[in-house]
Structure 1
Amino acid sequence: MGGVASSMAAKFAFFPPNPPSYKVVTDEFTALLLPTPFPHRKNVEVLKLPTRRGTEIVAIYIRHPMATSTLLYSHGNAADLGQMYELFIELSIHLRVNLMGPILSGLRVMYPVKRAYWFDIYKNIDKIPLVNCPVLIIHGTSDEVVDCSHGKQRWDLCKEKYEPLWLKGGNHCDLEQYPEYTRHLKKFISTVEKSPSQRKSTDRREKPRKSTDRPEKLKNQSNNLDKLEKLRTSFDQLERSRRSVDCHEKSRKSIDHQLERARKSVDLLDRIRTG
């Protein structure tokens, strides 16, 4: 069923807007390319990228003053740059990243760049296991074009899985309207900006300890407590015995002292009598 849906979608669903929702003009004073009807922004650069087929793809590069990463955004075939322009601006602001888009037609793939992996919307199931970096998959549960099971299947095949986001009620082209979308992307970017060693260290801290060895540990702890209790009881008994002996010793000394005093008194009476 999934293959049939993919085939039908490929033939009928993915057509760019006609006419386009934007056009590119050259500023007569600066010679900069400007996307109209959108106002010129100093931090937005419009580019024309040549392809292997000899054509050109229009792209925009948005700079953020506090960015430490650049997000490559590949929008779907059924959209164009004009429709994505405002979203690109908002993502750059909220995620604090530079943003380059669009990169290619096909599957919507987003990742901070150090290495690029190119995907096709129907063939990436063979390529996703080759990716050696954290992978985030976001999919709407009500997607009528590409079923959510496709996203889950790809997530299962990832080497380094990042917590996926299955947007309940999300369709094929409305995921950006959900607040969880931007929040989850922000968490993902903060994770991938860390070095691999930092990510592993964070994972170890966040993962709960395995419970497979807990019964043995609890047994050892119980045995140790029993031993300590026995030692404490033994010491208590010794202490009571010592106190009892001390008490007897004090009583014996008191009696000896009294006997000594009585003996001296008898001796004194004897001396008086004989004197």
Structure 2
Amino acid sequence: MNGFSIKELCCVFCCPPCPGTIAAKLAFVPPQPTYAVIPEPDALPAGGNGRVGTGVLGRWKLHLTDRADFQYTQRELDCIEVFMTKSSRGNRIACMYIRCAPGARFTLLFSHGNAVDLGQMTSFYLDLGTRINCNIFSYDYSGYGCSSGRPSEKNLYADIDAAWHALRTRYGISPENILLYGQSIGTVPAVDLASRYECAAVILHSALTSGMRVVLPDTKKTYCFDAFPNIDKVSKITSPVLIMHGTEDEVIDFSHGLALYERCPKTVEPLWVEGAGHNDIEQYSQYLERLKRFITQELVSQNSN
């Protein structure tokens, strides 16, 4: 999310705008791709006809470019599986499954923040999953990384649907073992999916209430041309929700986290990180402590009742 001048705000909100216009102007900053997904030859079928399959269920290899933060060891690469799937809107979506903790009960379906792609997030995923004893499944939005198409609000919803179904069908993960994790703009698809499907839990990290409320904080209602209306969808979530927000967030004000917490019917104790901004919550010790307690104690206790 970026700051806007009065002139730019008038252009966005007085055209009249549509949700896609607001979404494009406020949210999407795809980086130059930091990785490639390379198909590997599949084993030939019995009595093979000499053709090689590289479809959705084929084998793929992760190749990191020079733009990636760092290259991974072979041991780390052996824990990472990448593949392409297709969304209902026809875009090819890059997906990544990281076996951080073999035998782990839960898998995080992680919707990352803006201006990053899977290549940049992999090291964070490896570390996070290991520390909280969860496997992690993530994907790139349309127009990000190796995913085709262009970023848009409608594509966000189709992208996470494709990821959800790939996680369930390809790996056989049941909804009661999936945690939906959304960070910043990633809270938009996470909230939308959670409002339609029940899962183990939802984690909202630096979430926004809606696009208009980010740039016009005094907005009290959701207009038909607003984008990303999380505030109207969280009340439909039936799974436990953990909300985390920095009190000094300079991009999405702390008030957004409070508003979502008040609107959501199944929230657990939130994490308000004193002094944290938009991109550094995970650097505070409370972050891992709260995640661990939520996953290893609260969810387990709830499921045993």
- TM-score, normalised to structure 2, is 0.55
For the residue of structure 2 that corresponds to 1:61, the secondary structure is strand
State which of 112, 124, 133 in structure 2 corresponds to 1:96.
Answer: 133
State the distance in 2 between where 1:35 and 1:78 align. 19
Residue aligning to 1:48 = 84
The Cα shift of 1:27 comes to 4.6
State which of 14, 27, 37 in structure 1 corresponds to 2:28.
Answer: 14
**Structure 1 unaligned blocks of 5 or more:** 199-275
Q: Is the 8 A contact 1:134 1:161 kept in 2?
A: yes
State which of 144, 150, 155 in structure 1 corresponds to 2:256.
Answer: 150
Residue aligning to 1:192 = 299
Q: Is the 8 A contact 2:60 2:83 kept in 1?
A: no
State the distance in 2 between where 1:149 and 1:16 align. 26
State the distance in 1 between where 2:302 and 2:294 align. 13
Q: Structure 1 residues 68, 176: closer, same or farther in 2, change over 3 A?
A: same
Bigger CA drift: 19-28 or 184-193? 19-28
Q: How does 1:174-253 map to 2 (within 5 A)?
A: 174-190=280-296, 191-196=298-303, 198=305
State the Cα deviation string for residues 35-56 of structure 1 (Å, max 9, x = none). Answer: 4154352221112121122111
State which of 229, 235, 238 in structure 2 corresponds to 1:132.
Answer: 238
Q: Structure 1 residues 102, 166: closer, same or farther in 2, change over 3 A?
A: farther
State the distance in 2 between where 1:61 and 1:107 align. 17
State which of 247, 272, 286 in structure 2 corresponds to 1:141.
Answer: 247
Does 2:304 match 1:171?
A: no
State the distance in 2 between where 1:85 and 1:141 align. 27
Bigger CA drift: 25-34 or 77-86? 25-34
The Cα shift of 1:93 comes to 0.3
Q: Structure 1 residues 159, 35: closer, same or farther in 2, change over 3 A?
A: farther
Bigger CA drift: 167-176 or 150-159? 167-176
Q: Is the 8 A contact 1:140 1:170 kept in 2?
A: yes
Q: Is the 8 A contact 1:27 1:34 kept in 2?
A: no
The Cα shift of 1:66 comes to 3.4
For the residue of structure 2 that corresponds to 1:33, the secondary structure is strand
For the residue of structure 1 that corresponds to 2:232, the secondary structure is coil
Does 2:117 match 1:80?
A: yes
The Cα shift of 1:196 comes to 4.6
For the residue of structure 2 that corresponds to 1:53, the secondary structure is coil
Q: Structure 1 residues 114, 35: closer, same or farther in 2, change over 3 A?
A: farther
**Structure 2 unaligned blocks of 5 or more:** 13-21, 44-58, 66-70, 142-155, 157-184, 211-228
Aligned residues: 191
Q: Is the 8 A contact 1:25 1:36 kept in 2?
A: no
Q: Is the 8 A contact 1:48 1:56 kept in 2?
A: yes
How many percent identity over aligned positions? 37
Q: Structure 1 residues 178, 35: closer, same or farther in 2, change over 3 A?
A: farther
For the residue of structure 2 that corresponds to 1:160, the secondary structure is coil
The Cα shift of 1:139 comes to 0.7
Paired letter, 1:127: K
State the distance in 2 between where 1:197 and 1:180 align. 26
Paired letter, 2:125: F
State the distance in 2 between where 1:47 and 1:188 align. 30
State the distance in 1 between where 2:271 and 2:302 align. 23
The Cα shift of 1:21 comes to 2.2
- TM-score, normalised to structure 1, is 0.60
Root-mean-square deviation (Å): 3.2
Paired letter, 2:291: L
